[in-house]
């Protein structure tokens, strides 16, 4: 077996392995009972706390909010960077299971060259983990001494549903939406999530979908939106800035190819305006070529990742979200919190629950490139409309205040939903 192979244990063998390891580890280390009045011990499983992305950023925001009242630790499966892209949340410990930056022993080097048997082959995280990651994670999970265990992606939700100690309250987060997953993964979710204590989702559509899929199980399905990662800024809509801003991973999902097509006629109509795209990813070279082939190099700037997206928003006038599908795109609320009107495809799911069309932004039918062009054009050509929508966007963003969202998490933890 070689690294990157597509083999995987059959489901029955995988589950037998999980249960055998769990029973062996638990027999060796009984869980310490919780002392009445003691702070809840909350552990959050994250794929790569040192990386960048919406899930990482919103998890940090959630963890910092919970740390005000609870004992919170983030457990990251691996580390591949010397320093984290985002600052770690204050008052939260971060534990690394598979540290690629630390010296490795003979066994870990050998097992690191073998593929994971716990992560689905088609999961985007498959090539980042290994058999060594599996063993480190299983050992940590089955000896974990905590009250609440939160996982942040389907592969980890499936794992804690099967391997976490039954005395631990398990919560699976969905940062995307059920409809976006392949049929085989949806089948696994419907089967395994029944063993979780709770599932949190971001949108009303996801709430309905999960409740229908898990209707004959006791699992609690709750909608808790992500909180703003930082205090909202001052409205800059209507300012002299002539920048349309977009940011995210450069993948097919994010639809930056659609945005480039939509912006092409605007580049000719309004040469004093610029489209700036921030991010990194597999589609970077293809997008750069697309910009060059259309002669848009002076009008569209394809920049790298930024650690100061808030600052970039302060220098923009309009935010564009061309995604093909989403969960709850937190960048929309960040843009609104910076006073930017947003033009977005009405993709599944999220934008329609965040943006009131014509009030604080513009919704365009999913995939309608010419409609997206018209939406951006409307805001470019009407400074007063930009200002008005920007002010209304600020009001919308207040619903995602960290204090309000933190109260919803504390209600779930206390069993008050």
Lowest mean pLDDT among 16-20, 241-245, 379-383: 16-20
Asked, for residue 280, whether it belongs to a domain, the answer is yes
Higher pLDDT, 20 or 275: 275
Query: Do the Cβ atoms of 290 and 302 come closer than 8 Å?
Result: no
Question: Given this model, what pLDDT does residue 7 score?
Answer: 43
Question: Given this model, what pLDDT does residue 49 score?
Answer: 96
Do 115 and 91 fall into the same domain? yes
Higher pLDDT, 123 or 272: 272
Q: How deeply is 172 buried, as exposed, middle or buried, from its count of CB atoms within 10 A (0-12, 13-18, 19+)?
A: buried
Question: Given this model, what pLDDT does residue 28 score?
Answer: 47
Asked, for residue 70, whether it belongs to a domain, the answer is yes
Residue 19 has pLDDT above 70, yes or no: no
Do 173 and 263 fall into the same domain? no
Do 80 and 140 fall into the same domain? yes
Do 187 and 333 fall into the same domain? no
Residue 291 has pLDDT above 50, yes or no: yes
Q: Which of 48-57, 363-372, 395-404 has the highest mean pLDDT?
A: 363-372
Do 369 and 408 fall into the same domain? no
Asked, for residue 235, whether it belongs to a domain, the answer is no
277 three-class SS: strand
Domain that holds residue 369: 243-400
Query: Do the Cβ atoms of 350 and 333 come closer than 8 Å?
Result: no
Do 66 and 200 fall into the same domain? yes
d(Cα 160, Cα 193) in Å, to the nearest integer?
9
Question: Given this model, what pLDDT does residue 303 score?
Answer: 95
Tokens 């011990």 belong to residue: 41
The predicted-structure confidence for 325-338, as pLDDT tens digits, reads as follows 998 888 999 999 99
Question: Given this model, what pLDDT does residue 145 score?
Answer: 85
Query: Do the Cβ atoms of 261 and 369 come closer than 8 Å?
Result: yes
Do 395 and 262 fall into the same domain? yes
The predicted-structure confidence for 110-158, as pLDDT tens digits, reads as follows 999 998 888 877 777 888 899 999 999 988 887 788 999 999 999 999 9
Question: Given this model, what pLDDT does residue 6 score?
Answer: 40
- Percent of the chain surpassing pLDDT 70: 88
Question: Given this model, what pLDDT does residue 38 score?
Answer: 78
Lowest mean pLDDT among 36-50, 242-256, 309-323: 36-50
Number of structural domains, the chain? 2
CATH number, residue 367: 3.40.50.2000
Residue 270 has pLDDT above 50, yes or no: yes
- Percent of the chain surpassing pLDDT 90: 67
Do 16 and 160 fall into the same domain? yes
Question: Given this model, what pLDDT does residue 4 score?
Answer: 37
Query: Do the Cβ atoms of 286 and 210 come closer than 8 Å?
Result: no
Question: Given this model, what pLDDT does residue 13 score?
Answer: 57
Do 372 and 300 fall into the same domain? yes
The candidate with the shortest Cα–Cα distance to 405, out of 208, 244, 223, is 223
pLDDT confidence band for 229 (50 / 70 / 90): confident
Contacts by 185-189, CB closer than 8 A, 24 or more apart: 185/120, 185/122, 185/123, 185/154, 186/213, 188/120, 188/154, 188/158, 189/154, 189/157, 189/158, 189/213
Tokens of 211: 């409740």
Question: Given this model, what pLDDT does residue 415 score?
Answer: 75
Question: Given this model, what pLDDT does residue 33 score?
Answer: 61
Residue 412 has pLDDT above 90, yes or no: yes
Q: What is the mean pLDDT of residues 64-86?
A: 94
Q: What is the mean pLDDT of residues 23-34?
A: 54
pLDDT confidence band for 15 (50 / 70 / 90): low
The candidate with the shortest Cα–Cα distance to 229, out of 147, 131, 338, is 338
pLDDT confidence band for 233 (50 / 70 / 90): very low
Asked, for residue 105, whether it belongs to a domain, the answer is yes
pLDDT confidence band for 238 (50 / 70 / 90): very low
Do 251 and 159 fall into the same domain? no
Asked, for residue 233, whether it belongs to a domain, the answer is no
Is the sign of the CA dihedral 95, 100, 101, 104 positive or negative? Answer: positive
Asked, for residue 71, whether it belongs to a domain, the answer is yes
The predicted-structure confidence for 187-227, as pLDDT tens digits, reads as follows 999 999 999 999 999 999 999 999 999 999 999 999 999 99
The rounded radius of gyration (Å) of the Cα atoms in the chain is 22
Q: What is the mean pLDDT of the chain?
A: 88
Asked, for residue 232, whether it belongs to a domain, the answer is no
Question: Given this model, what pLDDT does residue 3 score?
Answer: 38
d(Cα 373, Cα 384) in Å, to the nearest integer?
19
Query: Using the 8-state DSSP alphabet, how is residue 142 labeled?
Result: H
d(Cα 121, Cα 98) in Å, to the nearest integer?
19
Do 171 and 305 fall into the same domain? no
Question: Which spans in 164-303 are helix H?
Answer: 183-192, 204-213, 256-269, 284-293
Asked, for residue 3, whether it belongs to a domain, the answer is no
Do 357 and 250 fall into the same domain? yes
Question: Given this model, what pLDDT does residue 12 score?
Answer: 59
Tokens 């089948």 belong to residue: 187
């Amino acid at each position: 077996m070689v690294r990157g192979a597509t083999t995987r244990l059959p489901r029955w063998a995988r589950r037998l392995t999980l249960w055998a390891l769990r029973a062996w580890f638990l027999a060796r280390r009984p869980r310490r009972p919780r002392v009445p009045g003691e702070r809840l011990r909350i552990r959050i499983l994250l794929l790569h706390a040192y990386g960048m992305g919406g899930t990482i950023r919103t998890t940090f925001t959630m963890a910092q909010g919970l740390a005000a009242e609870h004992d919170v630790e983030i457990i990251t499966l691996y580390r591949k960077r010397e320093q984290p892209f985002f600052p770690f949340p204050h008052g939260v410990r971060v534990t690394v299971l598979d540290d690629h930056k630390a010296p490795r022993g003979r066994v870990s080097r050998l097992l690191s060259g073998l593929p994971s048997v716990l992560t689905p082959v088609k999961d985007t995280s498959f090539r980042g983990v290994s058999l060594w990651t599996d063993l480190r994670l299983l050992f940590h999970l089955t000896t974990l001494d905590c009250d609440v265990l939160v996982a942040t992606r389907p592969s980890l939700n499936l794992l804690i549903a099967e391997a976490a100690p039954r005395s631990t309250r398990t919560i699976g987060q969905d940062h995307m939406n059920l409809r976006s997953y392949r049929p085989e993964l949806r089948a696994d979710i419907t089967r395994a999530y029944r063993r979780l204590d709770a599932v949190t989702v971001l949108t009303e559509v996801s709430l309905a979908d999960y409740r229908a899929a898990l209707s004959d199980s006791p699992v609690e399905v709750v909608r808790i939106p992500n909180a703003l990662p930082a205090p909202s800024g001052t409205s800059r809509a209507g300012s002299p800035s002539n920048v349309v801003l977009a940011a995210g991973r450069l993948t097919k999902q994010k639809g930056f190819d659609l945005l480039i097509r939509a912006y092409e006629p605007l580049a000719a109509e309004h040469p004093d305006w610029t489209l700036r795209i921030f991010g990194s990813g597999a589609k970077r070279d293809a997008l750069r070529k697309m910009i060059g082939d259309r002669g848009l190099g002076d009008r569209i700037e394809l920049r790298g990742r930024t650690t100061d997206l808030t600052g970039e928003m302060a220098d923009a006038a309009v935010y564009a979200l061309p995604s093909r599908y989403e969960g709850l795109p937190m960048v929309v609320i960040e843009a609104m919190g910076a006073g930017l009107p947003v033009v977005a495809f009405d993709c599944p799911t999220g934008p329609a629950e965040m943006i009131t069309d014509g009030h604080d932004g513009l919704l365009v039918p999913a995939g309608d490139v010419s409609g997206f062009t018209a939406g951006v054009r409307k805001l470019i050509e009407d400074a007063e409309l930009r200002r008005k929508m920007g002010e209304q966007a600020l009001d919308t963003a207040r619903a995602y205040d960290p204090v309000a969202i933190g109260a919803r998490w504390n209600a779930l933890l206390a069993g008050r939903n």
